[in-house]
Chain A
């Protein structure tokens, strides 16, 4: 089934540990995004990539890094997790930046203790 796959579904992580959230899409979409969703707040963009080989910073990039080695994969890394990074993380993709709707993965629920 075409779409976006995120892994893991959920994770409990000790503060200070390194963690990579995985995101793979099979729709050959050019643009990919990482958002975090916290209660009472709108989705906040962490990093994005308009095409393979390029990445950009979103609204809340500190403490996170991404890479886009190919079209399909867009991993998000937390180098040294902190409790404020406890959140639900959504990966999304679109055919191109602009009026095309976003397709979201099912999310990763991360708890940093």
Chain B
């Protein structure tokens, strides 16, 4: 079957760095997405990886290892506004997205 695993909840301190991991099993692979979702709001796109390696976008970076079925989202210089859920989604061979349940990130001052 197809599935995505990511931690349910993480806590970090303002100004610190946090890494949110995601492992996936899909029938074929056409890329991995990360979305941010603040409570009560819609998900918004953060990153897309289809090749192995690290993609950096300001304070946020995303890493992919296709051989390990593994990705992580790295958030640097954490701000209170980064408190949100982070959704990992892998695209299978039919271009269908398989979504993880999301990681709720709590930032403490």
Q: Across the interface, name the chain A residue whose C-beta is closest to B41.
A: A106
Q: Across the A-B interface, how many residue pairs have beta carbons closer than 8 Å?
A: 46
Q: Across the interface, name the chain B residue whose C-beta is closest to A38.
A: B101
Q: Across the interface, name the chain A residue whose C-beta is closest to B99.
A: A42
> What is the bound-complex CA distance between A101 and B50, given in angstroms?
13
| Chain B, interface residues (CB within 8 Å), range | 20 to 34
Establish whether residues B101 and A41, one from each chain, have CB atoms under 8 Å apart when the complex forms.
yes
Tell me the count of chain A residues lying within 8 A, CB to CB, of chain B.
18
> What is the bound-complex CA distance between A45 and B95, given in angstroms?
13
> What is the bound-complex CA distance between A93 and B45, given in angstroms?
12
Q: Render A30-49 as a binary contact track against B, CB cut-off 8 A, 1 for contact.
A: 00000000001111110000
> What is the bound-complex CA distance between A41 and B30, given in angstroms?
22
Establish whether residues A99 and B48, one from each chain, have CB atoms under 8 Å apart when the complex forms.
yes
Given A101-B45, A105-B42, A40 and B101 touching (CB < 8 A)? yes
Chain B residues with CB under 8 Å of chain A are 4, 30-31, 33, 35, 41-45, 48, 50, 87, 89, 91, 95-102
